[in-house]
Structures are given as C-alpha cells and as structure tokens.
Structure 1
C-alpha cells in the first residue's frame, strides 16, 4: 500500500484539488469558504512540491546529505497530517465557530514562510516555493484577517501549526542523525526554517 501511495498520491491530490475547486460555488460563503479553500490550495501546493518526489529528494541531497526525509514521512505528513488537519479545521469551523478552523490558515502561512526561509538560506528555488509565495502567504494573511476569531482561537491555531512544523523538523533531524551514524559521518545542518510539509 505504501508503495502504491508513494507513486500515486500526488496525482490524486491534483485531481482532488480540481474537484474541490469545482464545488466552491456551492460552499457557504464567508469564513467557512476560506477554511474550505485551505484544502484544495494545499493540494495544489503539494503538486508543485512533491511531483516526482522533488521535495524529499531536495531535502535529502541539498539540506542534509543523507536520507533524512523518508517516503513514509512524506506520506504521514501530507495525507493524515495536512489533509487530516484541514478536514478537522473545516469541521471545527462549521460546527463550533469559524475561529476554531484557523489552524488550517496558520499551517498554510507558516509553510509559505518556511519555503521562503529555505530559499533565502540556500539561495535558490526549493520545490513548493512558487505556490508558497504566490498563494500561501497572501491567502494565509487574508484568511487570518478575514475569519472572525478570538485571541484564544488565534493562539490555538498558531500552536497547532507550530507544533506540526516542530514535529516534522524533529523527526527529520532524528532521521538525519541516524543515517549519519550508519554512514559514520555528520549530517548536514538544516537552517531552522528549512523543512516544511
């Protein structure tokens, strides 16, 4: 199953993105629509980022020099991780209050900023930078100023996004250290903002 998903999940994301965008006109407007759009926009980003295993290959070769980001990591991060968080955020926005869905917007905004940070640190393009700059940062900011939310809801959304990114960095650095031990060397040092889902 993992091998099948590894080959096909990005193509699936491309088609799901298109399908989800086609139903936008029937999605209730306002804050719920903004939270809803986080899902297909993230899928569009994933196509740029992961098509042809580009991001994993980039991180492993350019940032760490060892296999720090595995195929399993990419699948866990993007499928139950990103897609799951976006779905839960949409449910929370619909059934509780729009502000409880802000984690989807903070996740998008932090991811866009992480791609910019990586581009600055490594002085060049990284897979996902285009949609990170053109879509994620403006959409994240627009959503955060548009969706009505309390301070507690903002803090909760930000905390979820920070914890997700911190967890990814921790896993990837652990993998890099293990891979370097096997090779008998030191892993490359990633800049703090170098890894994003």
Structure 2
C-alpha cells in the first residue's frame, strides 16, 4: 500500500484540490477574504504538486538536469518526494490554515511559502531558459494567488514586524530544509557509489 502511495499520491492531487476547493467555498465564508485566501493556497499548491510529480517530471528534472545523475534514482526518488511533500503541504499547511481561524497570524507564512516556491521555478526557468515541472501552475496560480493573498492580508490586518519576519523566515527555512535534504541524499548516494568501486 505504501509503495502504491509513493508512486501515485501526486495523481490524486487534482481530485483532492477540487474537493478541498468546494469544502473551502462551503465552509469558509468568502466574506472572510483573508482566511479564504490562506485556505485557497492549499488546493493551488496541490495543482502545483500534480504538475511537478504526477509524471515524475520534477524527479527526473532535478536528478538529471540539476544534479546530472543519468543513472539511478537519486537524489530524488518516489519515497523522498512523498516525505518532502506530504508533511508540509498535506499536514502542516492545513494545520496552520485551521489555526488561522483562531488567529490569522498563524497563516501568514503559507502565501509566503507559495510565492517563494513559485518564484524559484521561474528563476530556474529563466536561468536555464527552459521549462521545469511546476512552472505553469507557478505562473498562472502560485505567484498571482499568493501575492494577492499577501496584499489583502497586509491591507486588512495590522501585522507586527516580528510576525512578518518570522513568517518569511519559516517559509525560507522550509525551503532550506528541503534543499538540504535533497543535497544530503545526493552526497550519501554519491559516496555509496564511490565506496562500491
């Protein structure tokens, strides 16, 4: 069962995004624009995950184009991709979105995370002058919806400077952890291959 999930979880993202969007429209009042925009980041990110991982495009792109590994399934494989994405997007984001109904400040990092991640795809695309899996949703939804959420957030709520700094720091920290985890896998596998020679 778990191996099936490792290979197929991303294919479920569109269906889950649709169901979650309906749930958000029904249960989160659209009049509460800030809370609505925090929650809506999650289905947008699910669509982003579908573009990245449903056809193994992101895995192959990172392994072959970024780390130049032509043989073998590293530093990214189905298992590592699953454990990078599920805790952050499927657990952490909904938890903090729920906490935002108690105090909106809990959710400020979510649109920051979405914008930062989307911008990384755009920057990578410009630098390499090519498509990378995740770019289309980043351009069409990730950056516009995330940036709009931040604009509305700051327009309607007085946010203490420390909360803004912590939110940006947390969004950056998650990206650093992800990149560090991928790089650690690369070095570990690379060392294992050298030791086996």
Structure 1 stretches (4+) deviating beyond 6 angstroms?
Answer: none
Structure 1 residue 48 displacement after superposition: 0.8
- Mapped to 2, the partners of 1:10 and 1:162 lie a distance apart of 23
- Mapped to 2, the partners of 1:143 and 1:104 lie a distance apart of 9
> Could you tell me which residue of structure 2 aligns to residue 161 of structure 1?
171
TM score, norm. by length of structure 2: 0.87
- Mapped to 2, the partners of 1:102 and 1:155 lie a distance apart of 10
> Could you tell me which residue of structure 2 aligns to residue 143 of structure 1?
149
> Could you tell me which residue of structure 2 aligns to residue 4 of structure 1?
4
- Mapped to 2, the partners of 1:54 and 1:2 lie a distance apart of 21
- Mapped to 2, the partners of 1:3 and 1:123 lie a distance apart of 35
The answer as to whether partners of 1:85 and 1:104 remain within 8 angstroms in 2 is: no
TM score, norm. by length of structure 1: 0.87
Larger radius of gyration: 2
2:49 is the alignment partner of 1:46: yes
Structure 1 residue 13 displacement after superposition: 1.5
Structure 1 residue 183 displacement after superposition: 3.5
Any gaps of 5 or more consecutive residues in structure 1?
186-197
2:129 is the alignment partner of 1:123: yes
Aligned partner (choices 94, 119, 141) of residue 101 of structure 2: 94
Any gaps of 5 or more consecutive residues in structure 2?
none
Provide the alpha-carbon RMSD of the alignment.
1.7
Structure 1 residue 113 displacement after superposition: 0.8
Structure 1 residue 160 displacement after superposition: 1.3
- Mapped to 1, the partners of 2:135 and 2:25 lie a distance apart of 28
- Mapped to 2, the partners of 1:180 and 1:120 lie a distance apart of 28
The answer as to whether partners of 2:61 and 2:133 remain within 8 angstroms in 1 is: yes
> Could you tell me which residue of structure 2 aligns to residue 14 of structure 1?
14
Q: Deviations over 1:87-131 (max 9, x none)?
A: 122122111x21220111111011001101211222200000011
> Could you tell me which residue of structure 2 aligns to residue 180 of structure 1?
190
> Could you tell me which residue of structure 2 aligns to residue 74 of structure 1?
81
The number of residue pairs the alignment matches comes to: 184
